[in-house]
Structure 1
Amino acid sequence: MIPPTPPTPPTRTPASPPAPGRKRRRTSGKTQSWSIPQLEEWGLTRTQQRLVLVFGSLAGVLVAALAITLAISAIGNDFVPERATASVIGTEPRPDVYRGWPSSKVFAPIAASSADPRPLTVKDLFAKTLKEGRTTLRLAGAPRLETDCVAAVWGQGLADLLTRGGCTQVARGLYTSADGRYIAQYTMFNLRDTASADALANTLTTLHRGSWVRPLQTSRAAFPAGGHTEASGHAMGHYAGLVWLGRTDGAEPGPRDDFVSLSLTVRATEKAIFRRIVAASPAPAPGK
């Protein structure tokens, strides 16, 4: 009996190479190698593909960081991190509203302290009573005049401005209205020049949120803790004056509260600066 012929194993036809432009199929199974089809089509080895991923991820992080930096830079000086600022300033009083004004041409004769070397005095600046229209303010204690400008402020930003501006004197006077309803403090800085005074008045537009002048404390009056206050800065040649005012009860101003008249009244302190303009101006030529 003839034994049966064993079956002939089927012949395997070699797989044809993939057509150009077509992706190779990945083989299934646990032995499958890691690869990225698109990079593989570009002719990159698996090692090269891994390097591309690593550097790509790093570049993404750098691009994101650069985008954040540019966004913050684009915001400029108006960007103030309120939460961070609040944690820094703690309970230090500061105005809720501020506006700054640069020096005008009127103050050109005293644009530099070298043209106006005579030091400020308390007597020059702070009268016992200031009156403007129906508003009357009275000194609530002895004014202070100091040569250490940095000691009269809190916050590194304002301290740096005063140091760079060559501040030699700071004078502060605290007033209250005759009816006891309002409180106002005037602060005058004696700086190097108009550029320094302008920088202080303008920069405080945002800087006041985290750096400000210290309030005078007297037994007769004080800014209420946490109360609403408003302020303005005025550059006058090489001087910078800060007006700071509010209601003694700390409430926000209402329709009957004329903060404009209150500000003009306390700014009568600036008459001393106008007298210095006259003193520093050249004498008119004879016959003119």
Structure 2
Amino acid sequence: MAVPISSRTVIEARDTDAAPAASGGRQDRPGRKGPGPKVLIGGAAALVVALAVVAGVVLLGGGGEKKKPAGPANGAQISPVAYTPDYDGEGMAKLARRDADARPFTADEVFGADAKALKGGGYAYTLAASDVASDCKSVTWGARLQEDLAKHGCSQIARGSYVSQDKRYVGQFIAINMQDQDGVRQILRVLDPATSSGFVLPLAAPGAPAFTKGFSAAYAKTFGHYAVVSWVQRAGGADPANLTEAINASIPIEGPADFVWARLQMVSGK
């Protein structure tokens, strides 16, 4: 049964200088490529928690009255309303430092044939645009975030813009290439909208609905020296009808993360 978004709760602010919190507990997704157990973005259980925690933030005063979404922000200072980071990096010890994985990624690697069309949770998405930036500051906003990206050796940010076939949802896949896993964990802390430190600019795609300042949900994960973010929004920024809708819509956007497992296989074979 679908769970309505109706409860008013509070987003917990995280101290950017504190030790990482425990993992959000996302479950392995069957059928994924790569060695060993995997904790992947998109698991339904943790997103239920993330959306339940922030559900009330998208309402005005509770009582079921939904906030009207703001107009398109045109790549301006947008952060997700729901944000859940996973700091564990389980199974990624051999990929914890860029020294072992020095080759820069390319758009073709991250958004290859398998990432052009994504399906899952009853939703299907098409890649509308992709980009790999070597200037991390140019595709982010927020002085604190940009400072920490530079401090911890950000060398690349990949962004992919996805649109669902029914045009109801838009998604952003983001991969950030950092010097090491500790730097990734710090970036996940400062990406938390509760810190007001900044976020990655959503990639605009010609003819696709733009991300807005309405409701959106993001899940961020530590993949060795890569930070990976899956970010989804109902087109126009409206609240999802219920948690089930939001969960199902978010599942496919994790797909391009498969490039990390290929990288892990390469370093494990050395």
Distance of 1:204 and 1:239 partners within structure 2? 14
Are residue 110 (structure 1) and residue 48 (structure 2) matched? no
Q: CA deviation at 1:228?
A: 1.2
Between the aligned partners of 1:262 and 1:107, the Cα distance in structure 2 is: 27
Q: Is the 8 A contact 1:102 1:202 kept in 2?
A: no
SS in structure 1 of the partner of residue 192 of structure 2: helix
User: How far did residue 209 of structure 1 move?
Assistant: 3.3
Deviation at 1:92, TM superposition (A): 2.0
- Stretches of structure 2 that go unaligned for 5 or more consecutive residues are 1-12, 17-72
**Counterpart among 102, 106, 130 of residue 118 in structure 2:** 130
Task: Report Cα offsets for 1:115-142 as digits up to 9, x if no partner.
Answer: 111111111111211122422110123x
Deviations 1:232-287 (A, max 9, x none): 2111000001221110031111127532233331111100000111110146xxxx
Are residue 228 (structure 1) and residue 220 (structure 2) matched?
Answer: no
**Within 1, Cα distance between the matches of 2:14 and 2:158?**
31
SS of residue paired to 2:254: helix
Q: CA deviation at 1:226?
A: 2.9
1:93-149: CA deviations, max 9, x gaps? 2211211111323111101001111111111111211122422110123x1111001
Once structures 1 and 2 are overlaid, which stretch shifts more, 131-140 or 268-277?
131-140
Aligned to 1:77: 15
Partner of 1:254: 241
Q: Which has the higher helix share?
A: 1
Cα gap change, 1:223/1:257 in structure 2, threshold over 3 Å: closer, same or farther?
farther
Q: 1:219 to 1:206 in 2, by over 3 A?
A: closer
1:269 to 256, 265, 269: 256
Q: How many residues matched? A: 197
The structural deviation recorded for 1:210 is: 4.3
Answer yes or no: is 1:216 the counterpart of 2:216: no
5 Å matches for 1:1-288?
A: 77=15, 92-126=77-111, 127-141=115-129, 143-206=130-193, 209-255=196-242, 258-282=245-269
Q: For residue 48 of structure 1, what is the aligned residue in structure 2? A: none
2:127–2:162 Cα contact (<8 Å) kept: yes
Summarize the Cα distance change of 1:145–1:208 in structure 2 as closer, same or farther, 3 Å threshold: farther
- Matches of 1:256 and 1:240, distance apart in 2: 25
Amino acid at match of 2:185: D
Runs of 4+ off more than 4 Å: none
- 1:181 and 1:118 map into 2 onto residues whose CA distance is 37
Q: Which amino acid aligns with 1:77?
A: D
SS of alignment partner, residue 242 of structure 1: strand
TM-score with structure 1 setting the length = 0.63
Q: Residue 157 of structure 1 contacts residue 207 of structure 1 at CA under 8 Å; is this kept in 2? A: no
Q: Deviations over 1:74-101 (max 9, x none)?
A: x9739xxxxxxxxxx9x62221121111
Query: C-alpha distance in 2, partners of 1:100/1:185?
Result: 16
> How far apart, CA to CA, are the structure 2 residues paired with 1:178 and 1:217?
17
Q: Aligned residues: percent identity?
A: 28
